[in-house]
């Protein structure tokens, strides 16, 4: 497709818009088929929630990491994941809260288990990057380290702990198997079609974003934080808003936090395991992880006030994301220098 379409900014913008729409379509097929198949095979709730739904809504982010790792722009992939996580934590709960008929209800499991474990996931990934800089240094200005397979297993191990904790909270009762009206061939075909569509469109999305970034001098990491992050976060947003309108606030919030946990602890390490080793710009990553930590703490505080997300808290989250976008724009035009090592 690169040779067919002209290499013009307006063409790349149209490709990004089209790819975003196709990612939404492919993610819808993937999630619907995965949920149906999970019910057919009687998978436990922990598998459906923490694996099936999380992987389904997070698959675009996973593919973006793999594509950027293979094409040598891993910074864009990390930026997409961090930017997507910030978008998920601030924008999706806010939009879901404003779209629900009443306050978006949370519970103590969301506040004290999911949110806090997610903060632990952020810390674990920062520690993993720090170990890469200490033991496998590449440069000191900017601070860059090589992340090998031996370090990538650390966050994966923590995700295993997350699944174990989820499993401990599941009742011993067997999950009910839903067999009526399930066409296995159709559902597996829909699953495969969703996966294939996402892979192709994310690859095109990353290529167009990379070309636009090169044309306008936008760093790879910042391009990932903004454009790629927003496009790949669309499935998470649709799932959370839909469940919020169905008065399932805990499910809506749980999808956000569970998907983010998967993105940080599985998507990035899996890209490293497949490629072998990637360079991580610590000077760029740490400020963004600092913003992500602050955003997660803000969500934690807003949820803890009455275990619900009201209109005032929702607007506060949106205001925080607006500040984040303003900071990213300031970095891009050189008004600030926190990410000067990009």
Domain assignments of the chain as residue spans, ordered by start: 9-171+184-333
Q: Give the position of tokens 């790792």.
A: 69
Superfamily of domain 9-171+184-333: NCX, central ion-binding region (1.20.1420.30)
Cα 30 from chain centre? 16
Predicted confidence (pLDDT) at residue 319 exceeds the cutoff of 90? yes
Q: Report which of 86, 84, 88 is spatially closest to residue 96, judged by C-alpha positions.
A: 88
- Pairing relation of β-strands 143-148 and 277-281? antiparallel
CB atoms within 10 A of CB 245: 13
Task: Of 25-29, 85-89, 185-189, 192-196, give the lowest mean pLDDT range.
Answer: 25-29
| Residue 175 falls in which region: left (phi positive, over 0), alpha (psi -120 to 50) or beta | beta
CB atoms within 10 A of CB 15: 20
Q: What is the pLDDT of residues 262-309, one digit of tens each?
A: 888 998 888 888 888 888 888 878 888 888 889 988 988 888 777 778
At 2, is the pLDDT very low, low, confident or very high (cuts 50, 70, 90)? Answer: very low
Give the residue with greater pLDDT, 194 vs 101. Answer: 194
Lowest mean pLDDT of 13-17, 86-90, 194-198, 252-256, name the range.
Answer: 252-256
Q: What average pLDDT does the structure give for the chain?
A: 79
Q: Where are the alpha helices (DSSP H) in 41-179?
A: 45-47, 54-71, 74-99, 108-109, 115-135, 149-168
Please tell me the distance from the alpha carbon of residue 210 to that of residue 221, in angstroms, as a whole number. Answer: 10
- pLDDT of 46 > 60? The answer is no
The reported pTM is 0.77
Q: How does residue 342 score in pLDDT terms, banded at 50, 70 and 90?
A: very low
- Residue 341 pLDDT grade (very low, low, confident, very high; cuts 50, 70, 90): very low
* 181 pLDDT above the threshold of 80: no
**Residue linked to tokens 């559902």:** 187
Give Cβ neighbours of residue 7 (< 8 Å, ≥ 6 apart): 211
CA dihedral (127, 130, 136, 142) positive or negative: positive
Q: Is the separation of the CB atoms in 231 and 16 below 8 Å? A: yes
pLDDT higher for 340 or 42? 42
How confident is the model at residue 334, as a pLDDT? 65
Q: Which two tokens stand for residue 304?
A: 């803890």
pLDDT value for 7: 67
* Confidence at residue 132, expressed as pLDDT on a 0 to 100 scale: 94
Tell whether the model's pLDDT for residue 191 goes beyond 80. Answer: yes
Q: Which residue has better confidence, 106 or 67?
A: 67
In the numeric block, the tokens 């947003």 are attached to 237
Averaged over 160-182, what is the pLDDT? 69
Q: What is the distance between the alpha carbons of residues 13 and 149, in angstroms, rounded to a whole number?
A: 35
State residue 4 phi and psi, 5-degree precision.
-80, -50
User: Which segment of 35-44, 89-98, 138-147, 329-338 scores lowest on mean pLDDT?
Assistant: 329-338
- H/E element holding 299? helix 282-304
Structure tokens belonging to residue 61:
């982010």
CA pair distance 213, 219, nearest whole angstrom:
6
Give the tokens for residue 109.
């499991």
């Amino acid at each position: 497709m690169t040779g067919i379409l002209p290499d013009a900014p307006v063409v790349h913008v149209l490709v990004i818009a089209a790819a975003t729409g196709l990612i939404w379509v492919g993610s819808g097929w993937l999630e619907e088929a995965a949920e149906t198949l999970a019910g057919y095979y009687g998978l436990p709730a922990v598998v459906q929630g923490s694996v099936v739904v999380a992987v389904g809504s997070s698959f675009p982010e996973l593919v973006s990491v793999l594509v950027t790792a293979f094409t040598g722009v891993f910074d864009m992939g990390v930026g997409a994941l961090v930017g997507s996580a910030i978008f998920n934590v601030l924008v999706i709960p806010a939009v879901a809260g404003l779209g629900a008929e009443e306050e978006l209800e949370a519970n103590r499991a969301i506040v004290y288990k999911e949110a806090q474990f997610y903060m632990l996931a952020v810390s674990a990934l920062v520690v993993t990057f720090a170990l890469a800089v200490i033991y496998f240094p590449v440069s000191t200005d900017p601070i860059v380290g090589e992340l090998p397979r031996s370090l990538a297993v650390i966050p994966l191990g923590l995700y295993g702990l997350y699944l174990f904790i989820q499993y401990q909270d599941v009742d011993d009762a067997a999950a009910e198997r839903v067999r009526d009206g399930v066409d296995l061939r159709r559902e597996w075909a829909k699953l495969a079609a969703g996966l294939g569509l996402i892979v192709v469109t994310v690859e095109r999305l990353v290529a167009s974003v990379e070309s636009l970034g090169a044309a306008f001098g936008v760093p790879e990491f910042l391009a990932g934080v903004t454009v790629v992050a927003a496009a790949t976060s669309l499935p998470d947003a649709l799932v959370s808003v839909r469940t919020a309108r169905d008065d399932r606030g805990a499910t809506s919030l749980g999808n956000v936090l569970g998907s983010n946990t998967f993105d940080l602890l599985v998507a990035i390490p899996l890209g490293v395991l497949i490629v072998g080793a990637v360079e991580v710009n610590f000077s760029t990553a740490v400020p963004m992880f600092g913003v992500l930590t602050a955003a997660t703490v803000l969500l934690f505080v807003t949820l803890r006030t009455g275990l619900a997300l009201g209109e005032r808290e929702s607007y506060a989250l949106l205001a925080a994301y607006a500040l984040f976008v303003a900071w990213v724009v300031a970095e891009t035009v050189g008004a600030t220098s926190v990410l000067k090592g990009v």
